[in-house]
Amino acid sequence: MHRAVFLDRDGVINQMVYNPDFGLVDSPLKPSEFILLPDVAEGVRQIKALGFLAIVVSNQPGIAKGKFSQALLDRITQKMHHDLGTQSAKLDDVFYCLHHPEAVLKEYRQNCDCRKPKPGLLEQAARKWDIELTSSYFVGDGITDVLAGRAVGAICLYVGSRKEYILDEFYRKNVEPDYLVKSLLEAVHVIGEIENGGQGLEAYSFAYPVKACE
């Protein structure tokens, strides 16, 4: 069976975008807004060098909410592949959930099994690629990513900070990532260390600062 590093898209691979029309920071709505975060290509190259599949699993409800079309989403995805490719990096696959329970478009309005925090996208990928989920990894910047990863037994790395409100939200949801990192590249460094025996990872432990203060 294969092993994979699953990647959330927005906030892990590409920058989030401030949209003045909707008054919030959100996913890119057109290809020109899609900008890779620093060192993402290097991170993807290292994932492949470690022998893992690199697979994106992302909630993309923009079509359901009437923000953009399927054609625009396809073009954004093409730009992601192109921009990575220019730096000799390649994703193995991309899985999107297009649904939303409050979608303005009826055909997308459903409580599906693929919208994170449910693990449907991971399970779809596992069936297609014959992936052993319990020996795979999930790198994401949201609690829904950690919940989805936990549901299939993957090792979860959260891309973010140790801000108090973030820690409180994890505790409120009764879930913790295995490791807290600042970027995809740092996540891949941690994965490499785990694969080589797990030495020197205390500083990346989600619970490390809490234990240090006790």
Domains by residue range for the chain, with CATH: 4-213 (3.40.50.1000)
Task: Determine which one of 8, 92, 141, 178 is catalytic.
Answer: 8
Tokens linked to 193: 């260390």
Residue 190 and residue 172: Cα distance in Å, rounded? 26
User: Catalytic site residue 8?
Assistant: yes
The single residue of 10, 92, 141, 178 carrying the catalytic annotation is 10
In the numeric block, which tokens belong to residue 214?
A: 């006790």
pLDDT of residue 40: 98
Phi-psi region of 23 (alpha: psi -120 to 50; beta: other; left: phi over 0): left
pLDDT for residue 49: 98
pLDDT tens for 147-186 read: 999 999 999 999 998 777 788 888 888 899 999 999 999 9
pLDDT bin (cut points 50, 70, 90) of residue 214 is very low
Question: Is 92 part of the annotated catalytic residue set?
Answer: no
The H or E element spanning position 80 is helix 70-85
Inform me whether the pLDDT recorded for 105 exceeds 90.
no
What digits encode the pLDDT tens for the residues 58-73?
Answer: 999 999 998 889 999 9
Q: Is the pLDDT of residue 212 over 80?
A: no
pLDDT of residue 22: 64
Phi, psi of 57 (to 5 degrees): -130, 115
Please list, in sequence order, all residues whose beta carbon lies within 8 angstroms of the beta carbon of residue 142, skipping any fewer than 6 positions away.
8, 11, 116
